[in-house]
Amino acid sequence: MKRIFIIMIAVVFAAVSCNTEKKEKGNPFFSEWDTPFGVPPFDRIENEHYLPAIDSGIVMARQSIAEITGTEEAPTFANTVAKFDRADEFLSKVAYVFYSQTSANTNDTLEALQMEIAPKVAAFSDEVLLNADLFGRIRTVWENRESENLNEEELFMLDNLYKSFVRNGALLGPEDQEKLKKLNQELSVLTVRFSQNVLAETNDFRLVIDNEADLKGLPGSVITTAAEMAKADGMEGKWVFTTQKPSMIPFLQYADNRDLRKKLYDAYLNRGNNGNEFDNNKIVADIVRLRADRAKLLGYRTHADIVLETRMAKTPDNVLNLLNDLLDRSLPVAVKERDEMQKIIDAEGGNFRLEPHDWWYYAEKLRKAKYDLDETELRPYFSLDNVRDGAFAVANKLYGITFTPVNKIPLPHPDAQAFEVKEADGSHVGVLYMDFYPRESKRQGAWCGGYRDHQVIDGKEITPVVTIVGNFTPPAGDMPALLSMDDVLTLFHEFGHGLQALFSENAYSSTTVAWDIVELPSQIMEHWVTEPEVLAMYAKHYETGEVIPAELVEKVRNSSYFNTGFDNVEVMAASLLDMAYYSLEAPVQVDPQKFEKETMKKIGLIPEIEPRYRTTYFLHMIDGYDAGYYVYTWAAVLDNDAYEAFREKGIFDQETAASFRKNVLEKMGIMDAGQMYINFRGREPEIEPLLRNRGLL
């Protein structure tokens, strides 16, 4: 469905200004972008430029829709659906920049603007989705679809467009439509506030260490980074750690001071749960209640039923069957891991039971004891630039594409890098930005986004502008950014999303992606990370240039099942928590802290493991992956099965790579997801490769 009207990442509603011409003057959104490859002129875009451009964009969109509904011509795909697809061109141009920047480079002004825009976004989305004349024309085209000579993409697009209008209230009566509008407006404000609260809580906490003895156990590189962070905060001579994972995880892994490990981890767990102005408990309760009410109003049992209707999973039961099966297989493995770590504690005379904040510390000791592998041995071989180039090299060997640095080009942030992506024959594919380092203006985690999507307008191909954003440990002193193995996997993961965006072959901006499969392109890329042939491409010591030794590679591969119980259990726990909230039937009144505790007890989660995300900072559950965090696990079935195809013929087999590109990467959002996979694999996916690769068989 239209990104602008359904996903709501590219539309805003604002009153028309009587000073339009004045506002257009000097505003870069109102002129053609004379930049390399037509990328946004970030260096000329100011905060005050967004709303005036959005004002005009909404007027243009309204006018386009009025032209569609005002014609006396009989509805056809060309004069209704195709024109509707183009209605938001200018608006999208503005909104893609705005929403990408509010995620990666926000400020107080942009945050205030988000809060102002959110209810207006919902209002305009409803205005479009509940436009009876527009829906009537789309419905007529849908009912007469067999009479038009539509291609596969157009048929898929039309079917999903019609069903999306229905799913968003087009068939409701006037009174119920008004109720729906109110629910949507309330939700739009609450979801923005939730995200902003998590960012504020993340930025507010600092673990400040002024006693060098408290650094005992930490690697030198971690200490150096903490010192640099303290210096940047005006605390030279001290050390600072935050709840950003690149800072927190090494501290939890190596710091001998157990009390400080607990302090840092508790601060992470309690983000949004501190009873202050950024507390998210009531916000979550309201979001869950409103989404349940919305589902009931639309004729669905639960919010999960709405979400899953367009997914491969189809029903909540199918999701729960997969998650519970994997949880049942993973819990005994996690219990064994816990017991092994408890033995280490007992042998050291610890005289305490393992707790959640201890897991990383003793897991690292267990890794060294079982596999003679200390992660600090790996980091020197994983400099960020080398890992990035390794991902580029894998893509080159698979698809023949190249990545050329572009120096004289506007950047979304000074930390960002830009690359032109080209086919083997030198033809232009798109532009790729990469923005790797944490900052207070950037939300947590890693993601792939875009400033422009692929489409075809009046026969002209519009090439994509893609951005990959991360929060990796930055360089410190003379030392480059050094990644952990998890960081390496994350970079390859987001790069996989980037490849899909770059290879997309959609002709229209309206796409419908089944989110069960959206993580396939990203997760399959992780399989190449530890292949010896691939490690030789990028795992080179940052000082000597020495390729990672074969014996160290062997240790990495031997330890591939290490901590798999923990990894699987914390993901299943978070996924089941998400599904539990959105499987509630209206009316709903929930106490998030009580509900989370009861849900974890019900699934049998052991007390030594917390869900990967707890309720009050579970951004996925609120902001796009609602009733959808399971998709990482569903896609894991797909990516493990798909990688078997590469293993069978060779991990760089050109025929397999070409098939994966043609049938999966290029078709995302313009073909049924199940059919896409069958076209690539020749059959339905099988779960055995996942179980085998995770040591769960």
Q: What is the DSSP string of 444-458?
A: SS-EEEEEE--EEET
pLDDT of residue 3: 42
Which phi and psi (to 5°) does residue 130 adopt?
A: -105, 15
Rounded distance, CA 697 to CA 693, Å? 9
Instruction: Report, as an integer, the average pLDDT of 537-566.
Output: 94
Q: Can you list the domains of the chain with their CATH numbers?
A: 3-129+131-167 (1.10.1370.40), 205-269 (no CATH), 379-558 (1.10.1370.40)
Q: Which two tokens stand for residue 552?
A: 């160290």
pLDDT of residue 5: 40
Which phi and psi (to 5°) does residue 666 adopt?
A: -80, -25
Rounded distance, CA 78 to CA 158, Å? 11
Active site annotation includes 494: yes
198 burial level (CB within 10 Å; 0-12, 13-18, 19+): buried
Q: pLDDT tens digit string along 174-215?
A: 999 999 999 999 999 999 999 999 999 999 999 999 999 999
Let me know how many helices (H) and strands (E) the chain has, helices first: 29, 9
* Element holding 207 (H helix, E strand): strand 207-209
pLDDT of residue 12: 30
Length of the chain measured in residues: 697
| 8 A C-beta contact, residue 636 and residue 329 | no
Rounded distance, CA 631 to CA 313, Å? 9
Whose tokens are 């002193």? That residue is 477
- Confidence label for 2 from pLDDT (cuts 50, 70 and 90): very low
| Catalytic member of 111, 494, 519, 570 | 494
pLDDT of residue 608: 98
- Confidence label for 477 from pLDDT (cuts 50, 70 and 90): confident
- Confidence label for 146 from pLDDT (cuts 50, 70 and 90): very high
Which amino acid does the sequence have at 576? Answer: L
Q: Which of 64-78, 105-119, 174-188, 455-469 has the lowest mean pLDDT?
A: 105-119
Output the 3-class SS for 503-529.
Answer: HCCCCCCCCCCCHHHHCHHHHHHHHHC
Residues 2-38 as b/e (b if ≥16 CB within 10 A, e otherwise) read: bbbbbebbbbbbbeeeeeeeebbeebbbbeeeebeee
Model confidence at 691: pLDDT above 90: yes
Strands 455-457 and 417-422: unpaired
* Element holding 654 (H helix, E strand): helix 654-660
Which phi and psi (to 5°) does residue 637 adopt?
A: -60, -45
| CB-CB neighbours of 408 under 10 Å | 7
